[in-house]
C-alpha cells in the first residue's frame, strides 16, 4: 500500500516530475520549474512528511523504496506512463530510485546535487544512527530549532549569497512542514536508510544529467562516480554555486536543464 502524495500540476507540454529536497515542498524547485512550465507539464510532488502530504499514517510510508513506489503511484493517478524527472538532493536520490526501480517510467533524469546513497555498510550504519539521533532531537527541540540548525549546516553556507530576504522566505517555507513528518523522513528515507544504488546504476535506461555547483566539492566527486556507472550520463558544473545551484545560480542551472531536456526529442 503506497502513501497518497500531494501533487501540484502546472504548465503544458511533455510531463516533468519535480522532486524537492529534505525540508522542501512543491514550490522549492520553482526557480527552474517555473520557467520550464512554459514548455512542460510540471508535476511537483510533496514527498512523505513534507508540505501538504504531511506526516504519514504508517512508519513504512517513509521508507525509501516505499517513497519511490508512492511517487510512481502519482504518475499512475495522473495518467503519465513515462516522464522526465528533475530532483534536488533528497529528491535526486528519490528520482534515481525511480529510474532504478521503474526504469520503464522514466525518460530523462536531472539530478541536482544527487547521490546513489552511502556505499559502505559501516558508513551507512553510522549515518543511520546520526539521522535517528537528529530525528529525536527534532522532536524534542521543535521545528524552529531544527530549521535553523539545518539551514546553518556547512553544506548550505554558500546560500548566504542569496541575501536576507530570500533566506527568510526559505526559512518560512521550511517551517510549514510537520516536525513529525520531517523526523519520519529522516528515519525512513535519509541517506543512512536508503538502499545504496551504486551497483544498480546500470539499470537506468534513460539519459541522466548530473548537475552540481562548482563549490560543492563532495557532490562533484559523487557525480563523477555516478557517471561512471550510468549508461548515458552528462555532468553540468554550475559556476558560482554550492549544493543548491538552482537557487544560487538559477539562470545557468535552467540553461543546463532545459538544454538537456530538449535534446533528441524524448
136 found inside a domain: yes
64 found inside a domain: yes
Q: What is the pLDDT of residue 150?
A: 96
Could you tell me what percent of the chain has a pLDDT over 70? 98
SS3 of residue 84 by DSSP: strand
pLDDT level of residue 57 (50, 70, 90 thresholds): confident
How many CA atoms are closer than 13 Å to the CA of 262, on its beta-carbon side?
9
Q: Which three cell numbers stand for residue 62?
A: 517513509
Nearest Cα neighbor of 23 from 2, 49, 1 is 49
User: What pTM was estimated for this model as a whole?
Assistant: 0.97
* Count of structural domains, the chain: 1
2 found inside a domain: no
Q: What is the pLDDT of residue 215?
A: 97
For residues 36 and 16, give the distance between their C-alpha atoms in angstroms, rounded to a whole number: 9
226 found inside a domain: yes
Which structural domain, as residue segments, surrounds residue 69? Answer: 7-262
Here the CATH number for the domain that contains residue 168 is 3.40.50.1820
As a whole number, the mean pLDDT across the chain is 96
178 found inside a domain: yes
Provide the β-strand partners of residue 44: 8, 18
For residues 26 and 122, give the distance between their C-alpha atoms in angstroms, rounded to a whole number: 34
Q: Quick one: average pLDDT of 29-55?
A: 97
246 found inside a domain: yes
CA dihedral 171, 20, 49, 161 (to 10 degrees): -20
What would the pLDDT profile of 209-247 be if each residue is shown by its tens digit? 999 999 999 999 999 999 999 999 999 999 999 999 999
What would the pLDDT profile of 72-106 be if each residue is shown by its tens digit? 999 999 999 999 999 999 999 999 999 999 999 99
Q: 202 to each of 27, 72, 227, how far by Cα in Å?
A: 31, 20, 10
1 found inside a domain: no
Cβ atoms of residues 117 and 198 within 8 Å: yes
Q: What is the pLDDT of residue 40?
A: 97
241 found inside a domain: yes
pLDDT for residue 66 is more than 70: yes
What would the pLDDT profile of 139-193 be if each residue is shown by its tens digit? 999 999 999 999 999 999 999 999 999 999 999 999 999 999 999 999 999 999 9
Amino acid at each position: 500500500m503506497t502513501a497518497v502524495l500531494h501533487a501540484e500540476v502546472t504548465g503544458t507540454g511533455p510531463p516533468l516530475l519535480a522532486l524537492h529536497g529534505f525540508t522542501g515542498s512543491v514550490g522549492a524547485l520553482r526557480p527552474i520549474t517555473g520557467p520550464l512550465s512554459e514548455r512542460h507539464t510540471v508535476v511537483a510532488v510533496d514527498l512523505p512528511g513534507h508540505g501538504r502530504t504531511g506526516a504519514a499514517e504508517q512508519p513504512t510510508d517513509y521508507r525509501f523504496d516505499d517513497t519511490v513506489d508512492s511517487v510512481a503511484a502519482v504518475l499512475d493517478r495522473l495518467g503519465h506512463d513515462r516522464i522526465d524527472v528533475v530532483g534536488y538532493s533528497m529528491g535526486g536520490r528519490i528520482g534515481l530510485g525511480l529510474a532504478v526501480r521503474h526504469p520503464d517510467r522514466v525518460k530523462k533524469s536531472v539530478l541536482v546535487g544527487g547521490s546513489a546513497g552511502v556505499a559502505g555498510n559501516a558508513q551507512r550504519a553510522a549515518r543511520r544512527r546520526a539521522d535517528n539521533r537528529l530525528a529525536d532531537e527534532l522532536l524534542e527541540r521543535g521545528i524552529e530549532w531544527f530549521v535553523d540548525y539545518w539551514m546553518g549546516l556547512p553544506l548550505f553556507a554558500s546560500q548566504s549569497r542569496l541575501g536576507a530576504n530570500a533566506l527568510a522566505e526559505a526559512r518560512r517555507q521550511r517551517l510549514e512542514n510537520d516536525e513529525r513528518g520531517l523526523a519520519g523522513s529522516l528515519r525512513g528515507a535519509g541517506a543512512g536508510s536508503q538502499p545504496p544504488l551504486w551497483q544498480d546504476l546500470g539499470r537506468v535506461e534513460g539519459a541522466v544529467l548530473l548537475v552540481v555547483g562548482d563549490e560543492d566539492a563532495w557532490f562533484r566527486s559523487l557525480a563523477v562516480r555516478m557517471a561512471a556507472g550510468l549508461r548515458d550520463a552528462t555532468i553540468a558544473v554550475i559556476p558560482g554555486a554550492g549544493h543548491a545551484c538552482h537557487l544560487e545560480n538559477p539562470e545557468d542551472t535552467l540553461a543546463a536543464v532545459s538544454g538537456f531536456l530538449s535534446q533528441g526529442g524524448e
